[in-house]
Structure 1
Amino acid sequence: MAAPEIRQVKVTRYITPLREGGSLPAIAEADDGFKYVIKFRGAGHGVKALIAELLGGEIARALGLKVPEIVYAELDEAFGRTEGDEEIQDLLRESRGLNIGLHFLSGAINFDPVAVQVDRELASKIVWLDAFITNIDRTFRNTNMLLWHKELWIIDNGASFYFHHSWNQWEKQARTPFPYIKDHVLLPQADMLDETDRQFRSILTDEVLRAITGLIPDTWLQWEQTEESPEQIREVYFSFLKTRLANSGIFINEAKNARDATV
């Protein structure tokens, strides 16, 4: 598998905020002429939410799931000065530099689990992914999936890798059964987890995981709460993923037991 490549664009026009949650992502236009949903480094969880978005999205892509193109989105110092909303202006001021953008899927609609039935193989793949990256936020309340051109697309992985908010005992966190999987919106259909586990373990080689963690920019790894270098922080993410993959039976069994309790 070729190493993933992330393009860098410059944000040229702020279009509208997406007032979902507390992070105030926005639709914006970039210098390549395309629109993106921008997640800002100046928002609540800072660069760690951007790292989770990047890693979660590119792991999903490596596994063959549908994910909008991810780009590095640069905001220069002058951007946002004419914005009338003071909260948004403050957010943009704190987000100068490198942010993350997801290609805006024009015309996409939010996935409704009541109206749309997802097949068991795809459901199992998405449940496996979210248990692997410890994503607590793909529930009935907030599915974080879109229907676009009759296909299911994964968005918003920023709530993944929650171990990095405390940044300790990553070895223990890598082996967590992830009990939050019981709330996953697709869990009832996910009855192919063992088959999915075998397939995905063969795809996510050390080479693939190292290439993906290598995408994290240095500017997102200048953390005040640690003396570790960007290289050392990247190594922790890689080691977390490698350890979690080697112990996938732990979270697979948790998901299977949770599913048995609900169907």
Structure 2
Amino acid sequence: MMLLAQTDFYYANRGMGWGFDGTYVLIILAFLISALVSVKMNATFSKYSKVRSYCGMTGAQAAQRILSSAGIYDVRIEHVSGKLTDHYDPSNKVLRLSDAVYGNTSIAAIGVAAHECGHAVQHARNYVPLSVRSAIVPVANFGSQLSWPLFLAGLIFSFRPLLMIGILLFCAALLFQIVTLPVEFNASARALRMLDETGIMGKQEIRGTKKVLRAAAMTYVAAVIGSLLQLLRLLILSGAFRRRDD
């Protein structure tokens, strides 16, 4: 956010006639979308965290059963601190479950654990979008760290190639987010199916779990929308830069 403010200050003091950067509307819109989705996700998870599953299994126990039923025996299940920090680490074949999931018997906890198992199954079955996402991680990390600094440097030094490099790096990070969408939705679909097939949950419980996973998936959708709005802002600012030099 500091870089964004510096960009506005730069334009305001280079005689471009901008007392206020109108593209801030895009940033505000992205923030509002993210905030609303986050509130919805936390509220949904909190609601179903209070609903105990009929099977009485913890998230860790449910994950172990799901992995075993899928014929996966080389994935470790570990506890990780934090709230909703659950994730599957394909490089080390470790499924890490957070405080609210690992030892909790709620349908929300089991649903999240099953979702992470979905990623483990994707890895075991060589699910293509997951492989693509893993392959572009280095480029995406590089892009997310350097896109705005390079773009801002291009503005400050009036060097258009730096602007374009910054935009291209930002697009690399955006591509990672877009590829993440089918990976996350597929993992949730696998989770719901496996919960049904293993008998861990009944139809009524699965309906509640589906709401939890859908709310979580929407955070990824909101992230993509936010990044698209950021990209639009980059393009608008670069366009203003080009007009200034014409």
Compare relative contact order (CA 8 Å, sep 6+) and give the higher one, 1 or 2: 2
Q: TM-score, normalised by structure 1?
A: 0.27
Higher percent of residues as helix: 2
Q: TM-score, normalised by structure 2?
A: 0.29
Which protein has the larger Cα radius of gyration, Structure 1 or Structure 2? Answer: 2
Higher percent of residues as strand: 1
